[in-house]
Structure 1
Amino acid sequence: MKIFLRVVRYAIYLGLSGVILGCLALGVAYWLISPRLPSVETLKDVQLQVPLKVLAADGKLMATFGETRRIPIDMSQVPDRLKYAVISAEDADFYTHPGIDIGGILRAVWLVTTTGSKHVAGGSTITQQVARQFFLSPEVTYTRKLSEIFLAFRIEGALSKDDILALYLNKSFFGNRAYGIAAAAEFYYGKTLDQLTQAECAMLASLPKFPSTGNPINNLPRALQRRAYVLGRMLDLGHIDQATYDQAMAEEDQSFAHEPPIEIEAPYVAELVRQEAIERLGNDALDNGYVIRTTIVSPDQEAANQALRDSLVDYDRRHGYRGAEAHVDIAAGTSPESLVGEIDGYRTVNGLIPGIVATVMADEAMVQLGDGQVALLDLKAVEWARPYVDDSRRGATPKRVDEVLQAGDIVRVSLDEEGNWRLAQIPAVQGAMVGLSPEDGAIRALIGGFNFSRSKFNRATQSSRSAGSSFKPFIYSAAMDHGFTPASVINDAPLVFPDVSRPNGLWTPSNDDGKFDGPIRLREALVRSKNLVSVRLLDAIGVHYAHEYVTRFGFTAQQVPENLSMALGTAAVSPLAMARGYAVLANGGFLIDPYLIAEIADRDGKVIYTANPVRACHDCPQRMLDEEQERANLAADGSSSFTPIATANASTTVPPAPGEPRLAPRVIDARNAYLVTSLMRDVVRRGTGSGAMVLKRGDLAGKTGTTNEYRDAWFSGFNARIVATAWVGFDDFSSLGSREFGSKSALPIWIGFMRAALADMEEQPFDMPPGITTARVDRDSGLLAPAGDPDSIIEYFKTEDVAQLAARPDTQEEEQREAYDVF
């Protein structure tokens, strides 16, 4: 007995010594580690990574950017069935322990001692996991574990249990780039937290253990096992009853990848916004939860998308079928499942669905699609598919389906408006379209190519293409500023210039139709897009003068060649630059700056940036005063002393008074803008742009453009509220093909966009500025005609031009002789 008591006494001494030594060891460890521990106070105002959101003007989601999917929540948004699922899975005693689970730690110590491995299960509470997630590295060391324990105590002392659990739920990784429970619920189930079933709550609660290898998308069997474990723990702990358990266990998992619900497709816009966000907000722009509202008008963007894609598909079909995207040899009797495997690497592009031809006969082909559907193509479905020969030639119309397709062809199909399958192909041609407000430059719609995933090059902003005849209005504006009028007569006749860069040493510009009309008024010359008139006009006013003048419309001197080819639109510009230039004419002479970002808010909804663009703002008090002064400056004879405030590269204004808008600089006379616009209204009414009259509006003006060898097709046009430019061409500068003018290739895009953009907009006539008058002129000579002359027509003039012409009727003829003569 004495021996037994002695053993017990020694055991007690030994135990106490161990406790004392352990405490001393912990004290020393804390003394050594504590100075290096971070302050847990930062957790009270933690800034989690939240992706950047890009919205349209009406708040519809266009894109999200960032490395993580995350939707921060607080505990008031977490239903009890989800909260207790997480606690049951991770830390049953969370609401009662002081931050660590002593029993769990002792078990972990025992396993480390007996196995010799540092990688053992157990021992980490939710609080410890929060400490690790926010402050520590994932390395497995004793020092890191002790730091985790000490931090857990500090966290428990600084935060409430609900605050700690909220941090855990927001920070934890749930697989598939989903960080945080709310992002996981949206990604796997497309639901908010309050919409989750008990089974779905248990599934999500199980994911932090094995987020990549145990989620229901990557490994459903393992995920279901983990779900069952969590439900069992909830039942054992009394968080659910038997009926709820049975129902949840029987529930079929409905998870699949729910990508962010993009409501407006505008990837080219979104990428522009992403780049500007980084410039404005720095490298953390994509992870700090900013919300950017753009100027994009959702219906306008949708119309631009559809118009461009439809027009490019129509162009592509006009030029024939280029053949299957690929071909594989298939044996007779091959199963549909095997055929589907052959198209795994192909993705649907703008409604053009990939498929493989399973069987083909004279009157029908069966195309197996990736989703198990079968598309039946009859002769009508392939009759457009005349073989492509070159840009201007096609082969014969097919008489049999098997002339076009053969078994094993990987092709595209699409549904027409009646729901019938049709053979399709992805266009090789590209296009771009941009629409903006001439009032302040707000971009209403922008698309930079047929499909962003196939080509991220933004042709609306990054391209430099010759503008063709769509550049002529700027030359005509320079001429009006130089003394010409819409009634001025120029000779449309052949021209020859020496040019050492050409094989024969001569440059012989010509009209698109190859015809010459002789003496012709400027109005008719623009309506018919006469190239030779533009060249003579440019030569008459001077190349240097015109080169400087066109920079007023926002073009740089480097974009515009300083030679006579400028008259034919050889300036290398983007559709956005063209739209900006046309906006000067649409708004009465003011240079605006196109912009996309209207507002930026931080993660808390506080607006930190609001756009303040320069505006034409005709009804602004300061603008009205300026225009009143301009009217006062009109001399008694009607002449104007207008001097442009700014040019293309100096769109600065006098600082506005507090609360006043920033006024865009006036760069051309309002009367000049009105006269050129009146010419372009006739281009739409009865000229090369007459196709736009399908819109049945009288307030449209515009100009087509086609470059040499049909490499580029353009149409730019506007009313007083919207300016839009459309372009079509090949990225490699190949020819679009014979007769592919701007009116045929680009104008349909513009019409499709404007039909939607102007649908609810009443016609708004262009306001005639002071100093403009009308007079009757002879339709042949352009000179003033006597009253009652049956051959006379009404023409618009600056007031002083009519007065001068009436005083000296031979003046105009003399001044125009240089431009009229063949030189």
Structure 2
Amino acid sequence: MKRWILISTLGVAVLLCLGAAAVWAGALYLGRDLPPVDSIRQLQLSVPLRVLSQDGKLIGQFGAERRSLLRYDDIPPNVIHAFLAAEDDRFFEHPGVDWQGLVRASFVLAVSGEKSQGGSTITMQLARNVFLSNERTFTRKFKEILLALRIEHELSKKEILELYLNKIFLGERAYGVGAASRVYFGKDIHQLSLGEIAVIAGLPKAPSRDNPVANPQRAKERRDYVLSRMHSLGEISDTEYQAARAEPVVVHPYQAKLDVDAQYVAEMARAWAVEHYGDDAYTRGLTVITTLDSGRQLAANAALRRALLDYDERHGWRGPEAQLPLRMLSDQGHDELAQALDARPPVADLRAAVVVSFAADRLQLITEDGPMNLDKDAFSWANLTRKPLQPGDVVRIRPVGARWRLAEIPAVQGAFVALRPDDGAIQALVGGFDFYANKFNRVTQARRQSGSGFKPFLYAAGLAQGLTPASVFLDAPVVVDDPSADNAWRPENFEGDLKGPMSLREALVHSRNLVSIRLLQAIGIDYTRQYVPRFGLPGDRLPDNLTMALGTAVFTPLEMARGYATIANGGFVIDPYLVSEVRDADGQVLYKAAPKHACPDCPDTAPQQSPGDSATAAGADATTDDSVAPRTIEPQVDWLISDMMHDVATRGTGAKTNELHRNDLAGKTGTTNDETDAWFNGFQKTQVAIAWVGFDQPAPLGPGEVGARAALPIWIDYMRAALKGVPEERLPRPDGLVDVRIDPRTGKLAPADAPDAVFEVVQQDHIPEAEAADAHNDPNKANLEDLY
């Protein structure tokens, strides 16, 4: 019996020795790949990604905050207590690995298949976050244990905790508690409340999922868990515990002090940088220099916001934003009221205010800066006598000069983009009323019907096929039978009237729908669908029916800008671009844009002659210079359509541009069915600008809200600033065009004695025929059957 006991004991001892030897051998083998602990002290400070305008103004900053590391003695005690309570309450007792916790976690995992708290210590988390990956393997876990033991052997507990609190990832690209306090609450760590500290301490488990930006409810649950742990460990009193649980979780994201409000642009540049440099773009100190002009961007912001607020006032007061309990208006409710206002940050430049009292000639408010009174002139637009404001109502106010005016966040949205037509450099871009209220970038993401803004491309197709600005079409009813529909399609002009025979120039100037349809019928749908992509517009979005003439094709404002740039620069298709240069942390240039540019004077830039082939659709041309953009539109056609659009802007639907007192502007209004989309697309030789107004969920803007009323004011306000000091300049007239006297009723050459003849510019190889003398003397004899 004793012999068997001895043998068993020796067997167990041998097995233990073999196990220990195996562990030791494994530790030696895996330990060879582990980095020296001393390198953990050399924490690299993350330098954020910065986005600048072309003139060096800061428009965006992304990534970890550049900061000095916090020393252990500078970290508030409650921060330390909160993290220990949440992650490792035995931190000062174990040697880097909490064997009790590991055994407990392993047992729970084996029995229930679920993980439990206590598997990883703070030291193990530090080892993993600094040196190891997050792969879930036993090898990685073993390395983590070995490295944690080594860290504990070479560093003190305070050093370990200091490094952990400076290095731990806490979501929203924040590393360390110092960064997280600013990223989530806009405060120095010493200014955080107990509840805010608990929110941050609850993040290491799932920082991307549980942070208060991504999931406020989950962040609150984690906060309450941390507070409960602190309370049970005796770190906070009952009063502190209850007060911290009662705090609302209100996020005040840290924002770098920016020089220019261009958040839609900054986000575009950020996405570009990540696409080209990966997530390292956030920490390696890259500087992205954009093509944005800071002065023009400010003008674009102001122009779009003013137009949307004006539209909002035209359509009346919708009512208060919210209603607060009356108790908040008392002295006892001051703090609660301040929190309520704090929870409603400015939208664009609209600030929240609470109504104290309302009378027909006076509105008394409380803002975050104190009491404020508005005179009747500041709110008369709202006609509040129909629906008086009540105490406690939350409203918005906006600055107008040195005074304040009642306002509301517009339900309508808008977009604006301006670029250089010669190379596509984006000079200004506004994707909506306010980026922080709605990050959807309507310039690049919103495909909307183009309305009459499409007509210049259609008319250019007609000119390319041999028609001239003098060609006459009937402005008369059109009936289109559709076998798939119960009723025939009977399109109308916007005004509902008919003008009879008229030239293409006049039809474009006054945006006559029926003439546009007859033009499309004359040149052919297939031909037009093959020709229009020459302007850089996506051909696959062009309808295969006559509605194309009325602008049912959908494009983004940036795509429309590219199309109009082709007209503005002489017929060259450019590629809009935003990033001009990227530099690293040492100032070395990593990337420099090399855009293709329009070059009317360059040799060998003859456009493709036959529309429809693959080369034309792609914008190919005969030049071999890689720096020159492809020329896809004949110079004569391009000049004629731009000249016709000049008339639109001076005496047609865009005549409001005359208030700029310039003679070098061209453009086209655009309005879709039921005034759902309002556009103005226009240019000067050095600047193309596109303005759009509409609802995100397409709906009528209201009677009279056409492009000239809703969108054109944005374009005018922007151009007033953008063209200040810019000399007047139009496209030079190319060879191959001649001036002729035309009978406006027939489009033919007028006799010398015709009193009502007009001068027109036409292609030299498409001079109209002379009209018969009897046709001039008796208009009833004009052959209207020859009119399209």
Q: TM-score, normalised by structure 2?
A: 0.73
Partner of 2:769: 805
- Out of 751, 761, 769, the position equivalent to 2:726 is 761
Partner of 1:418: 402
| Distance in 1, Cα, partners of 2:124 & 2:674 | 71
Deviating more after overlay: 464-473 vs 591-600: 591-600
| Distance in 2, Cα, partners of 1:330 & 1:153 | 61
Going from structure 1 to structure 2, the CA distance change for 1:495 and 1:146 (only over 3 Å counts) comes to closer
| Distance in 1, Cα, partners of 2:459 & 2:783 | 14
The Cα of 1:131 is off from its aligned counterpart by 7.8
The Cα of 1:36 is off from its aligned counterpart by 3.2
Partner of 1:669: 634
Partner of 1:290: 286
Tell whether the 8 Å contact from 1:784 to 1:809 is kept in structure 2 after alignment. no
The Cα of 1:332 is off from its aligned counterpart by 10
Going from structure 1 to structure 2, the CA distance change for 1:759 and 1:568 (only over 3 Å counts) comes to same
The Cα of 1:509 is off from its aligned counterpart by 1.1
Deviating more after overlay: 687-696 vs 455-464: 455-464
- 1:552 matched to 2:534? The reply is yes
- Out of 444, 449, 468, the position equivalent to 2:432 is 449
Tell whether the 8 Å contact from 2:45 to 2:66 is kept in structure 1 after alignment. no
1:115-134 to structure 2, matched below 5 A, reads: 134=130
- 1:434 matched to 2:417? The reply is yes
Partner of 1:697: 662
Going from structure 1 to structure 2, the CA distance change for 1:567 and 1:644 (only over 3 Å counts) comes to closer
Partner of 1:54: 51
Secondary structure of the 1:461 match is helix
Deviation string, structure 1 residues 39-85 (Cα, Å, up to 9, x no partner):
6589599866443322222222222233xx2338xxxxx9xxx9xx9
Tell whether the 8 Å contact from 2:177 to 2:200 is kept in structure 1 after alignment. no
| Distance in 1, Cα, partners of 2:94 & 2:708 | 83
Partner of 1:404: 388
Partner of 1:232: none
- 1:507 matched to 2:489? The reply is yes
| Distance in 1, Cα, partners of 2:173 & 2:609 | 64
- Out of 556, 559, 584, the position equivalent to 1:574 is 556
Please, what is the CA RMSD of the aligned residues?
4.7
The Cα of 1:526 is off from its aligned counterpart by 0.9
The Cα of 1:132 is off from its aligned counterpart by 8.5
- Out of 328, 347, 350, the position equivalent to 1:349 is 347
Secondary structure of the 2:769 match is helix
1:736-815 to structure 2, matched below 5 A, reads: 736-787=701-752, 789-802=754-767, 805=769
Letter in 2 for 1:757: A
Partner of 1:625: 603
Aligned length in residues: 669
1:380-391 to structure 2, matched below 5 A, reads: 380-386=377-383
The Cα of 1:563 is off from its aligned counterpart by 1.0
- Out of 488, 491, 495, the position equivalent to 2:474 is 491
Tell whether the 8 Å contact from 1:644 to 1:668 is kept in structure 2 after alignment. no
The Cα of 1:731 is off from its aligned counterpart by 1.6
| Distance in 2, Cα, partners of 1:178 & 1:576 | 33
Secondary structure of the 2:680 match is strand
Flag the structure with larger Rg: 1
| Distance in 1, Cα, partners of 2:705 & 2:686 | 29
Tell whether the 8 Å contact from 1:339 to 1:368 is kept in structure 2 after alignment. no
- 1:531 matched to 2:477? The reply is no
Secondary structure of the 2:526 match is helix
Letter in 2 for 1:626: D
Partner of 1:820: 787
Letter in 1 for 2:400: D
Letter in 2 for 1:415: P
Tell whether the 8 Å contact from 1:783 to 1:809 is kept in structure 2 after alignment. no
The Cα of 1:675 is off from its aligned counterpart by 0.4
Going from structure 1 to structure 2, the CA distance change for 1:714 and 1:809 (only over 3 Å counts) comes to farther
The Cα of 1:565 is off from its aligned counterpart by 1.0
Secondary structure of the 1:603 match is coil
Partner of 2:451: 468
Going from structure 1 to structure 2, the CA distance change for 1:590 and 1:49 (only over 3 Å counts) comes to same
Letter in 2 for 1:795: E
Partner of 2:226: none
Going from structure 1 to structure 2, the CA distance change for 1:819 and 1:357 (only over 3 Å counts) comes to farther
Partner of 1:302: 298
Going from structure 1 to structure 2, the CA distance change for 1:358 and 1:766 (only over 3 Å counts) comes to same
Tell whether the 8 Å contact from 2:124 to 2:144 is kept in structure 1 after alignment. no
| Distance in 2, Cα, partners of 1:777 & 1:311 | 41
| Distance in 2, Cα, partners of 1:789 & 1:71 | 78
Secondary structure of the 2:604 match is helix
| Distance in 2, Cα, partners of 1:672 & 1:329 | 66
| Distance in 1, Cα, partners of 2:289 & 2:373 | 44
Secondary structure of the 1:513 match is coil
Gaps of 5+ in 1: 1-26, 73-77, 91-106, 119-126, 156-163, 192-199, 215-255, 387-397, 631-639
Tell whether the 8 Å contact from 2:350 to 2:397 is kept in structure 1 after alignment. yes
Tell whether the 8 Å contact from 2:30 to 2:143 is kept in structure 1 after alignment. no
Going from structure 1 to structure 2, the CA distance change for 1:816 and 1:723 (only over 3 Å counts) comes to farther
Deviation string, structure 1 residues 698-731 (Cα, Å, up to 9, x no partner):
1111000111111111110011111111111112
Percent identity between the two aligned chains:
43
Letter in 2 for 1:567: A
Tell whether the 8 Å contact from 1:699 to 1:764 is kept in structure 2 after alignment. yes
| Distance in 1, Cα, partners of 2:631 & 2:554 | 24
Gaps of 5+ in 2: 1-20, 76-90, 103-122, 135-140, 203-251
Partner of 1:70: 65
Going from structure 1 to structure 2, the CA distance change for 1:513 and 1:376 (only over 3 Å counts) comes to same
Going from structure 1 to structure 2, the CA distance change for 1:552 and 1:149 (only over 3 Å counts) comes to same
Going from structure 1 to structure 2, the CA distance change for 1:537 and 1:362 (only over 3 Å counts) comes to closer
Letter in 2 for 1:269: V
Deviation string, structure 1 residues 152-175 (Cα, Å, up to 9, x no partner):
9999xxxxxxxx9x9999958899
Secondary structure of the 2:443 match is coil
| Distance in 2, Cα, partners of 1:212 & 1:341 | 20
- Out of 310, 322, 328, the position equivalent to 1:326 is 322
| Distance in 2, Cα, partners of 1:809 & 1:769 | 33
The Cα of 1:444 is off from its aligned counterpart by 1.3
Deviating more after overlay: 538-547 vs 48-57: 48-57
Partner of 2:273: 277
Q: TM-score, normalised by structure 1?
A: 0.70
Going from structure 1 to structure 2, the CA distance change for 1:322 and 1:70 (only over 3 Å counts) comes to closer
